[in-house]
């Protein structure tokens, strides 16, 4: 990842080129003023040149903040914390596009048997593209080919069902539902020729996949976590559909705010869950390799990370933060959507965690693993004043890219995504001032020999 200083210098040069007319006016005005002091034309040129020249550093600073994922004190949430619990993840995803006949369709579960990227081809390069209106353009929405096994909602036997194959535009915030392998689909009535349709409901799929957390506050005020309870969540979605839609307050449905009939139906689901407890669904359904999209979507490759020697020597460290909220917007970059996010950050000095609200470009490949982890790696400045999001380290820790260690004797060790071993190795490399800008840590290299012993101990 480029440093903040390099991004700022680049934006200053770009702004200078774009505002070159201001420098020209300033020089011409100074020359005219020296030849004829008091001439109004030279004063106008000077004023115009000065205004345009002042715009250069201001525009460069604003553009750098937009492009570089740095969190500072100005981003801290007022009061330091939001009311969210530590394990909360609130996703404000785009609503499903309405299609004829889907309003009365039955909601059903579908297992993703295979998934592959058909098309994702934005042409904005690395620039920010904003579309006005509440929609996401197709060029920034991956087209995914899906083969689904749909469990017929009218059949009580889970072994029965039918398969459908087709292409679907998937909101980037909901890509993790495909990796997890569980979707909510709207099943229409059987056609005379025997065909069935199944249209994915993407926000509902993010719930069923466990990406979005879900809690239910009962009429007695007690709150129950239902994340991962697939059958109960699907039944809740059906009740919500029949009631015309039920808004979640963050990640919570409060039955005390619903009409009595709908609240009683939700309460009946809770009673059913108490008498017949449902096991949590796995993080990901089997055969995940058949639906892995991270390798074909844009985003930084995972890496153990580059280490600035000055930053390391002065006491720069890494910390982990966690996304509490992501909110979709209509601004995009080629490698991912620009989202309004809230992160909970644990300072390295052991002081209480604080929340930060920051607009960030979140890589597409990271979004495919959002059902598994919401963690992000931050590089902390030596004075603790700023926190830089490191997507390369984040993607390696999240398992988006496979991490591997080659031992001094040539053996290969594969490290599971999210493991404490990867985190320990990253911190050891930082403390020793060793860069490894790739997912393979080769301890046979000369520059790694001095720290090979302690790095191998971390792998044990």
Q: How far apart are the first and last CA of the chain?
A: 29
Convert the pLDDT of each residue in 248-277 to its tens digit. 888 999 999 999 999 999 999 999 999 999
Convert the pLDDT of each residue in 361-403 to its tens digit. 999 999 999 999 999 999 999 999 999 999 999 999 999 999 9
CB 330 within 8 A of CB 133: yes
* Local confidence band at 129 (pLDDT 50, 70, 90 cut-offs): confident
Distance CA 346, CA 384 (A): 11
Judged against a pLDDT cut of 50, whether residue 118 lies above it is answered with: yes
Judged against a pLDDT cut of 60, whether residue 137 lies above it is answered with: yes
Judged against a pLDDT cut of 90, whether residue 442 lies above it is answered with: yes
Judged against a pLDDT cut of 50, whether residue 98 lies above it is answered with: no
Judged against a pLDDT cut of 90, whether residue 190 lies above it is answered with: no
Please report, rounded to a whole number, the percentage of residues in the chain having pLDDT higher than 90. Answer: 65
pLDDT at 125: 65
pLDDT at 159: 62
Average pLDDT, the chain: 87
Convert the pLDDT of each residue in 210-231 to its tens digit. 999 999 999 999 999 999 999 9
Judged against a pLDDT cut of 80, whether residue 241 lies above it is answered with: yes
pLDDT at 193: 65
Burial of 226 (0-12, 13-18, 19+ CB in 10 A): buried
Convert the pLDDT of each residue in 31-55 to its tens digit. 665 655 654 566 666 676 667 777 7
Coil, helix or strand for 319?
Answer: strand
pLDDT at 286: 94
Q: How many other C-beta atoms are found inside a 10 Å radius of the C-beta of residue 459? A: 15
pLDDT at 35: 59
Q: How many other C-beta atoms are found inside a 10 Å radius of the C-beta of residue 460? A: 5
* Local confidence band at 423 (pLDDT 50, 70, 90 cut-offs): very high
Q: How many other C-beta atoms are found inside a 10 Å radius of the C-beta of residue 447? A: 11
Helix, strand, coil share of the chain (percent; to 5)? 35, 25, 40
Q: What is the DSSP string of 2-70?
A: --HHHHHHHHHHHHHHHTHHHHHHHHHHHHHHHHSTT-HHHHHHHHHHHHHHHHHHHHHHHHHHHHS-E
Helix (H) or strand (E) holding 8: helix 4-18
pLDDT at 419: 86
CB 297 within 8 A of CB 365: yes
Judged against a pLDDT cut of 50, whether residue 100 lies above it is answered with: no
* Local confidence band at 238 (pLDDT 50, 70, 90 cut-offs): very high
- In degrees and rounded to multiples of 5, residue 355 shows phi and psi of -105, 145
The residue extents of the domains of the chain are 4-68, 93-290, 297-459
pTM reported for the whole predicted model: 0.89
Burial of 278 (0-12, 13-18, 19+ CB in 10 A): middle
């Amino acid at each position: 990842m480029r440093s903040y200083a390099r991004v700022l210098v680049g934006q200053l040069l770009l702004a200078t080129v774009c505002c070159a007319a201001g420098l020209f006016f300033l020089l011409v005005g100074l020359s005219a003023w020296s030849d004829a002091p008091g001439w109004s034309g030279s004063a106008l040129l000077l004023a115009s040149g000065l205004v345009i020249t002042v715009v250069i550093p201001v525009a460069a600073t604003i553009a750098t903040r937009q492009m570089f994922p740095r969190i500072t004190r100005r981003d801290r949430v007022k009061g330091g914390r939001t009311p969210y619990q530590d394990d909360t993840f609130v996703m404000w995803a785009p609503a499903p596009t309405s299609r004829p006949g889907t309003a009365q369709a039955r909601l059903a579960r579908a297992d993703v048997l295979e998934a592959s990227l058909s098309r994702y081809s934005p042409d904005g390069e690395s620039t920010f593209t904003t579309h006005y209106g509440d929609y996401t353009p197709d060029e920034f929405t991956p087209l995914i080919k899906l083969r689904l096994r749909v469990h017929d909602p009218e059949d009580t036997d889970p072994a029965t069902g039918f398969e459908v194959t087709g292409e679907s535009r998937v909101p980037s915030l909901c890509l993790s539902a495909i990796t997890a392998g569980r979707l909510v689909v709207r099943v229409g009535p059987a056609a005379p020729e025997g065909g069935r349709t199944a249209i994915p409901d993407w926000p509902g799929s993010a719930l069923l996949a466990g990406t979005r957390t879900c809690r239910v506050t009962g009429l007695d005020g007690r709150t129950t976590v239902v994340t991962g309870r697939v059958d109960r969540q699907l039944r809740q979605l059906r009740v919500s559909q029949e009631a015309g839609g039920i808004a979640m307050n963050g990640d919570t449905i409060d039955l005390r705010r619903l009409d009595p009939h709908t609240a009683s139906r939700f309460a009946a689901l809770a009673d059913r869950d108490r008498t017949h407890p449902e096991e949590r669904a796995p993080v990901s359904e089997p055969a995940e390799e058949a639906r892995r999209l991270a390798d074909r979507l844009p985003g930084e490759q995972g890496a153990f990370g580059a280490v600035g020697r000055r930053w390391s020597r002065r006491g720069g460290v890494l910390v982990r933060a966690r996304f509490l909220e992501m909110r979709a917007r209509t601004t995009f970059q080629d490698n991912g959507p620009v989202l309004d996010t809230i992160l909970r950050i644990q300072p390295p000095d052991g002081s209480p965690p604080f929340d930060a609200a920051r607009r960030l470009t979140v890589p597409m490949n990271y979004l495919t693993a959002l059902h598994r982890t919401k963690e992000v790696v931050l590089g902390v400045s030596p004075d603790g004043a700023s926190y830089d999001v490191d997507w390369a380290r984040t993607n390696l820790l999240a398992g988006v890219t496979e991490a591997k260690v080659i031992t001094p004797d040539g053996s290969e060790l594969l490290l599971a995504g999210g493991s404490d071993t990867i985190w320990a190795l990253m911190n050891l490399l930082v403390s020793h001032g060793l860069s490894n800008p790739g997912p393979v840590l080769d301890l046979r290299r000369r520059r790694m020999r001095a720290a090979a012993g302690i790095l191998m101990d971390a792998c044990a």
